[in-house]
Amino acid sequence: MTALEESELCLPHLNSSCRKPAQPHAAVMLIYVLLSSISFVTIALNLLVIIAISHFRQLHTPTNLFLLSLAVSDLLVGLLLMPVEIIYIEVCWFLGDILCTLYYFADYVITSASVANMVFISLDRYLAICDPLGYATKVNKGRAQVCVCLCWVCSVLYRLLLLNDHLENPGKSNTCSGECVVIISNVAGVIDMIFTFIVPITVIIVLYFRVFVAALSQARTLRSQTAAAESKLGPVSLRRNEMKAARTLGVVVVVFLFCFCPYYFPALEGEDTSVNASSAPFDIWLAHFNSCLNPVIYAFFYPWFRKSIMLILTLQILRPGSRDIKILY
């Protein structure tokens, strides 16, 4: 073996070594800058969401608890998953098979928790729009906290079951030394697609369709009301706020679908799903990019989030009594 060939290997002293990723330096630097920027923005924006909802008492609502849980999962994507994929763009995997498997386990748990949060958010909006009178009795902070805990616990248990083979035999999918690959069989991939994509997305679409129908019905009712019914202005305003929140969270769900659909294409085509940390393909980065888009949507649609950002960045949250500042009008 020549010296040049050895320099191209991850572990030159091993015959089973993988070859180092070979990409033009200029392209690699551009990718580094772009992906590092996405990771930084993801961390910063989701941290602002977490601080805002946690700090201001007026934002301690069941809906915002689900948004808080979603922001935590998005923060973990930017803090744990994206940096690993950035580091290993042009270098080999040297952290060992156990950490490789744990990395994928964390990736799948975070993804499952995000999907579960989306379902709960859709259910919350459905109850708020379609059953406004019974919403306060059916949905409260205690029940929302239980749902959030179940979301994360069930995600961990489900992934332990699905990735049991890989957890017992770390590195079983690696074809050479110096790579980090997990291959999900077509059968397991189809099961995963059904439980973490098709079923949740079907539930979400059905719920939002019913919300849409209810919103149209309420819009007709609002138009038919006379200006003389001033005593009903409060409830009318409340329903408008609820429908606006439903539209905003509907955008979150649509963006989620757009970002995650390509990831499940291999299972739809009847192929094994191969995920490689050393060369994360476009579909994985698109799925992770969703974590950056969610808080951007909040900033664009939610006045309370924009106001919270100003209070946080100007350090007004450090003042006594800042937790009781009126954020919502």
Residue 159 falls inside a structural domain: yes
Residue 28 lies in a domain: yes
The CA distance from 195 to 154, in Å, is 12
Distance from C-alpha of 37 to C-alpha of 229, rounded to nearest angstrom:
52
Residue range of the domain that includes 311: 24-220+234-324
What is the tens place of the pLDDT at every residue in 79-115? Answer: 988 888 787 776 677 777 888 888 888 888 998 898 8
Residue at 74 is within a domain? yes
Length of the chain, in residues: 329
**Is the four-CA dihedral 244, 247, 253, 254 of positive or negative sign?**
negative
Collect contacts of 306-312 with beta carbons under 8 A, ≥24 apart.
308/48, 308/51, 308/52, 308/55, 308/56, 308/59, 309/48, 309/52, 312/48, 312/51, 312/52, 312/55
Q: What is the pLDDT of residue 304?
A: 82
State yes or no: pLDDT of 311 exceeds 80. yes
Give domain status of residue 288, yes or no: yes
Q: What is the pLDDT of residues 162-207, one digit of tens each?
A: 888 878 887 777 777 777 777 777 777 778 888 888 888 888 888 8
Number of domains in the chain: 1
Q: Is residue 18 part of a domain?
A: no
For residue 212, the domain's CATH number is 1.20.1070.10
Q: Tell me the pLDDT tens digit for each residue of 31-79.
A: 788 888 988 999 999 999 999 999 888 888 888 899 899 999 999 989 9
pTM: 0.81
pLDDT at residue 319 in the model: 87
Query: Following CA atoms 249, 255, 217, 59 in sequence, which dihedral angle do they give, to the nearest 10 degrees?
Result: 10
69 found inside a domain: yes
Specify if 228 maps to a domain: no
Which residue bears the tokens 């099961």?
Answer: 191
Residue 9 covered by a domain: no
- Termini Cα distance of the chain: 72
